[in-house]
Amino acid sequence: MILLTPTKTEAQALLIAPTLFRGWKVCAEALPPAILLERAVAAEDGGWTMPRLYGDRATGEIVGSGAFKSAPKERRIELGYGVAPTRRGRGFATTGARLLVEEAFSSGLVNEVWAEASPRNIASQRVLEKAGFTREGTGHDDEEGPVDRWVRRIPAIRPPSGF
């Protein structure tokens, strides 16, 4: 799998014709809601909120997406993700979450990535667990009630023994 980040022009094109992206066929319901693409196009945040599209190299399809919900604040950033219903259960969400965490940490601007998932959404909780997140309390309520907050922190660098 590969992450593909649209330019603002490409994101605008996806809003008009959401079936093809750079030669990749877009699966039904693989893209984030249009309002998130519109927000990313309008944002002046250095591209943080632009959704990253999940490209399945084996099929040449866009199968889902993930995004940061804002630019980093106090060295923290929130992650969101989704996969087309017909492509779920194949590890795309887990791989996408891992790649987004890697991107955030490699920026040098983020020490902590967090996400929220409903306790009833076992699949999403499992994605976060497999992507190295740890459950740490509750977050804001969503339309279904309380959600669990999951966190992944950049690993601490330890000096070699003997120092």
In a domain, 162, yes or no: no
Q: What is the per-residue pLDDT for 130?
A: 97
CA distances 44 to 48, 50, 71, 108, Å, are 9, 10, 10, 19
- Domain assignment present for residue 109? The answer is yes
- Domain assignment of residue 142, yes or no: yes
Q: Is residue 158 in a domain?
A: no
The domain total for the chain is 1
Identify the domain containing residue 39 by its residue range.
2-153
Residue 67 lies inside a defined structural domain of this protein = yes
Residues 103, 108, 112, 118, Cα dihedral to 10°: -30
Torsion of CA 63, 20, 79, 1, to 10 degrees: 50
pLDDT of 151: 97
d(CA 127, CA 92): 9
| Per-residue pLDDT, 155 | 81
Kindly give the confidence (pLDDT) of every residue in the chain, 163 residues in length, as a single tens digit, with 9 standing for 90 and above: 999 999 999 999 999 999 999 999 999 999 999 999 999 999 999 999 999 999 999 999 999 999 999 999 999 999 999 999 999 999 999 999 999 999 999 999 999 999 999 999 999 999 999 999 999 988 776 677 889 999 999 987 666 666 5
Please state whether 162 falls in left (phi above 0), alpha (psi between -120 and 50) or beta: left
95: domain CATH number is 3.40.630.30
* Total-model pTM: 0.90
Report the distance separating Cα 91 and Cα 107, nearest Å: 25
Residue 115 lies in a domain: yes
Is there a domain that residue 163 lies in? Answer: no
pLDDT at 162: 63
For residue 163, the model assigns a pLDDT of 58
Asked if 54 and 92 count as a contact pair (C-beta separation under 8 A), the reply is yes
Residue 139 φ/ψ, nearest 5 degrees: -110, -155
